[in-house]
Amino acid sequence: MKKRILVVEDEEGLRLLYKEELEAEGYEVLTAQNGREAIQKLEEEPDLIILDIVMPVMDGMEALGRIVGRERKIPIILNTSYPGYRRDFMSWAADAYVTKSTDLGELKDKVRELLEKGKAL
Amino acid sequence: MKKVLAMILAGGRGERLYPLTKDRAKPAVPFGAIYRIIDFTLSNCLNSDVRRVLALTQYKSISLHRHIQLGWNILSAPLGEFIEVIPAQQRIDEHWYQGTADAIFQNIYTLQQEKPDLVLILSGDHIYKMDYRKMIAFHLEKGADLTVAAIRMDRKLSKEFGVIEVDKDWQIIGFQEKPEEPKTIPGDSEGILASMGIYAFNTEILVRRLIEDARSDSTHDFGRDIIPAMIGKDRIFAFDFRLGDPGGTGYWRDVGTIDGYFEANMDLISVIPQLNLYDPQWPILTHQSPHPPAKTVLAEEGRMGTALNSIISNGCIISGGSVKRSILSPKVMIHSYVEVEDSILMEGVDVGRYAKIRRTIIDKDVHIPQGMEIGYNLDEDAKRFTVTASGIVVVPKGMKL
């Protein structure tokens, strides 16, 4: 079965880039434009979430808290170019942190690592 | 000085105190004629110079809200001091708090805003006096991540408590939740160290452990989950309650049951109570509406307004009736030829002529009709009221009789 990844990103260009690149890696990709949409998409039971922080409607930090309160074990990667987020206590709930880049090498490594870890449990 | 934030868990349902908790959470249950149970913890905070205080509520919190708003709006906001009630906002999730740790986790945004160095987690359910400064000093001296206050209890009571195991430096090396076979205190095989549900945490460690706990299968409880997970990983110590007990009597009550509640109240009318409410060094504050002073009237043969071995609050009138070994909250009216013995009458209770009340707790605003007897025939009483195993009758708040 294909692993299902939810990408939460408000910029359309980036969203499409992530979707294409991750699909090419063999994943099924769901997308959401903001935190609120991300929470609605939890019903489709993603195996991992890639979460931007600065987004309209509901930002990533608030979404992170709500997701963790509901789906306690789903791995979450915070993907951001905003450097101050570590001051936010809730950011500590994420499983990994990746700085935004058009080179998705690091992100793909983290995705693979976390999904492997999830299988081991 | 370290910045300390106290978070009081004030959502206790107090199910075994029913019907006193029919319309209010346990911390809002009246105690000692004019107090609410939470007043003792709030007074401890003030007397310990802890002036940033949050009370986290959930069930039936209106009564508690009102009380804190009216009675405890006494600190200085410009100095950064506050006593605030935070209802369960369901900010992170839609459910009620799942456990004590979840209650703090759900308020992580508040911690974020305050950014204290230390978080003092307290229970609003207990009656005791404690100088939290002593515990904080101990915590800092030990370089601890977490310090848990502990009180010696008889080992027979182990099933009611979280039992702490310590080494010779009081570092915690084991924790059993309500064990049948408890670890006893070294050199004291009849004693156990019971957790008082009082925790001093370094904020960063608290947040990290809360998040780890939130993301795992857990009951989200400090005693059951967080502390056991910290043993062997973090520096956690037990603090001996006797070192922080200003009265030196070791008094600490959970008043979890009606019988326990009744006895703890009755202690207050003894000549030298275990709980001293008269210590000017450790005042217990509360909210009181302005009432006129208590009075006794009528001194005729067979119609004497008297109160003996009792606590009588402001606004009470004892008019030609007799009150013995009882506790009367404000605005209680005792009419002629009434006999009240070994009872607790809460605010606004009115006892009609010739009524006889014995070993009964009457909650607020109950009007006892003329000639009614309560506490004399427990089988009859049990048809209408709660009667405990030891024979205490409870008449719920506002009951129409």
Token code pair at residue B106: 């759900």
Cis ω on the peptide bond leading into residue A83 (within 30° of 0)? no
Q: Does B301 fall in a domain?
A: yes
Shared-domain flag, residues B162 and B46:
yes
User: Which of B108, B216, B217 is nearest residue A90 as measured by Cβ atoms?
Assistant: B108
Q: What is the pLDDT of residue A119?
A: 60
Shared-domain flag, residues B122 and B238:
yes
In terms of residue numbers, what domain contains B112?
Answer: 4-267
Of B248, B267, B286, which closes a domain?
A: B267
User: Which of A70, A73, A93 is nearest residue B211 as measured by Cβ atoms?
Assistant: A93
Instruction: Kindly tell me the sign of the dihedral angle through the C-alpha atoms of A90, A92, A95, A96.
Output: positive
Q: What is the pLDDT of residue B90?
A: 59
Shared-domain flag, residues B182 and B307:
no
Interface test with B, best of A86, A89, A95, A117 (most B CBs within 10 A): A89
Cα Dmax for chain B: 74
Question: Is B180 strand, coil or helix?
Answer: coil
Shared-domain flag, residues B258 and B303:
no
* Backbone angles phi and psi of B97, in degrees to 5: -60, 130
Q: What is the pLDDT of residue B199?
A: 98
| Residues near B320 by beta carbon (within 8 Å), at least 6 away in sequence | B297, B298, B300, B303, B304, B305, B335, B336, B337, B338
Q: What pTM does this model have?
A: 0.90
pLDDT in tens, A58-99: 888 888 888 887 777 889 998 888 777 777 888 888 888 888
Q: Does B400 fall in a domain?
A: no
**What ipTM was assigned to the predicted interfaces of this complex?**
0.79
List of chain B residues with pLDDT < 70: 90-95
Q: Does B167 fall in a domain?
A: yes
Shared-domain flag, residues B223 and B176:
yes
> What CATH number is given to the structural domain containing B195?
3.90.550.10
Q: What is the pLDDT of residue B11?
A: 85
A56 or B35, higher pLDDT: B35
Q: What is the pLDDT of residue B300?
A: 93
Instruction: Tell me whether residues A65 and B91 touch, CB distance under 8 A.
Output: yes
Shared-domain flag, residues B111 and B243:
yes
Shared-domain flag, residues B44 and B85:
yes
Q: Does B278 fall in a domain?
A: no
Q: Does B80 fall in a domain?
A: yes
> What CATH number is given to the structural domain containing B299?
2.160.10.10
A117 or B167, higher pLDDT: B167
Shared-domain flag, residues B42 and B148:
yes
Shared-domain flag, residues B225 and B350:
no
Q: Does B401 fall in a domain?
A: no
Calculate the CA dihedral of residues B140, B57, B32, B397 and round it to 10 degrees.
-170
Q: What is the pLDDT of residue A120?
A: 54
Shared-domain flag, residues B232 and B335:
no
Chain A (56-75) residues lying within 8 Å, Cβ to Cβ, of chain B: 65-66, 68-70, 72-73
Q: What is the pLDDT of residue B28?
A: 95
Q: What is the pLDDT of residue A6?
A: 93
B207 touches chain A (CB under 8 A): yes
Shared-domain flag, residues B357 and B233:
no
Instruction: Tell me whether residues B108 and A72 touch, CB distance under 8 A.
Output: no
Of B267, B285, B316, which closes a domain?
A: B267
Q: Kindly state the average pLDDT of the residues A41-52.
A: 90
Q: Does B98 fall in a domain?
A: yes
Number of domains in chain B: 2
Q: Does B35 fall in a domain?
A: yes
Shared-domain flag, residues B241 and B306:
no
